[in-house]
Amino acid sequence: MWFKNLKLYRLSPTWALSPEQVEEALSKYAFKPGNTSEMQSLGWLPPRENGGLVHVVGKQMLIALRAEKKLLPSTVINQFAKARAQEAEEQQGYKPGRKQMKEIKEQVTDELLPKAFSVYRDTRVWIDPEHRWLAIDAAASAKADEVLGLLAKSIDPFPVESLYVTQSPAAAMTGWLAEDEAPSNFSIDQDTELRASGESGAAIRYVKHSIDPDDVRRHISSGKQCTRLALTWADRISFVLTESLDIKRVAPLDVIKENNDAMSQNDDEQFDSDMTLMAGELAKLIADLVEALGGEKTSP
């Protein structure tokens, strides 16, 4: 149940939608398998099997986006198009030109699509109306953009705003390393990346290895900034913070797992228990992290 990554956004201050209203809005774009002529299709699906499009636990909501993509490699299209072009050359007495080759490739693609395999990818979204957070479980920006794009179509006006903080994560993380001291309630772990700005982009990474403060200062003096830093919050959750304020590799630690596993529950109860625990812990982690970055500001 726990999200592995967090792309963070703010719910609009005017957000007042009930789970039933969100369900109705999403239903307009519920997932339907793509037809034979579509390379990709997107839509909302129940985050829990046999459930609704919005799974609710307390005040927390969970939704999910499904992306279906047809597997049709360009090498296969080119192979069939080459054979088709040879046939055309024999019939017309000359090689197909650029325009004709484009038409041949489009025709081949249309013919092969119905035979292509489909792969599915689901992206979960946590909505916290109480603290006005919307978090997407995605490591890549492209996956988050898919969610935001369909949200914009589903809910009008668009209910999401960017999150801005006073101090840039790169500057803050660089300062923490230089001082060899994490902000209150955090500790620095062993994964670190420092990168130079400008065209060179020279980078040094420490993986499962503590970085010496003297080495940090030497890298900083040469123009590098910290762009990724592994942290632990309150001895309860480990994660990696990036320069773009993404939270990656989220992992609840043993103190959380032991407390939650102690309760004997069926699958549905376990899922809801995990969701409640995750929402409560992550909301506090995010609040502490925003505070460590100087608090929020209204614009870039």
Which of 289, 291, 168, 286 is CA-nearest to residue 225? 168
Residue 177 lies in a domain: yes
Residue 297 lies in a domain: no
**Mean pLDDT of the chain, nearest integer:** 90
Rg of the chain (C-alpha set): 24
pTM: 0.85
What is the spatial distance between Cα 273 and Cα 258, in angstroms, rounded to a whole number? 13
Considering the domain architecture, whether residues 142 and 30 belong to the same structural domain is answered as: yes
Considering the domain architecture, whether residues 189 and 279 belong to the same structural domain is answered as: yes
What is the spatial distance between Cα 268 and Cα 18, in angstroms, rounded to a whole number? 22
What is the spatial distance between Cα 287 and Cα 165, in angstroms, rounded to a whole number? 11
Considering the domain architecture, whether residues 97 and 219 belong to the same structural domain is answered as: no
Say if residue 264's pLDDT is above 70: no
In sequence order, the 6+-apart residues with CB closer than 8 A to the CB of 294 are: 165, 166, 167, 172
What is the spatial distance between Cα 294 and Cα 168, in angstroms, rounded to a whole number? 9
Q: Which two tokens stand for residue 141?
A: 């920006």
**Band of residue 69 on the pLDDT scale cut at 50, 70, 90:** confident
Residue 280 bridge partners (DSSP) = none
What is the spatial distance between Cα 26 and Cα 153, in angstroms, rounded to a whole number? 9
Say if residue 2's pLDDT is above 90: yes
Considering the domain architecture, whether residues 32 and 153 belong to the same structural domain is answered as: yes
Residue 47 lies in a domain: yes
Q: What is the pLDDT of residues 141-198, one digit of tens each?
A: 999 999 999 999 999 999 999 999 999 999 999 999 999 899 999 999 989 999 988 7
Domain holding 225, by residue range, is 169-292
φ and ψ at residue 146, rounded to 5 degrees: -60, -45
> Among residues 161, 181, 196, which one ends one of the domains?
161
For strands 247-252 and 203-206, give the pairing: unpaired
> Among residues 135, 161, 187, which one ends one of the domains?
161
More confident residue, 223 or 44: 44
Tokens 């490591």 locate to: 139
Q: How many domains does the chain have?
A: 3
**Band of residue 260 on the pLDDT scale cut at 50, 70, 90:** low
Considering the domain architecture, whether residues 192 and 261 belong to the same structural domain is answered as: yes
Considering the domain architecture, whether residues 49 and 156 belong to the same structural domain is answered as: yes
Residue 1 lies in a domain: no
Considering the domain architecture, whether residues 223 and 234 belong to the same structural domain is answered as: yes
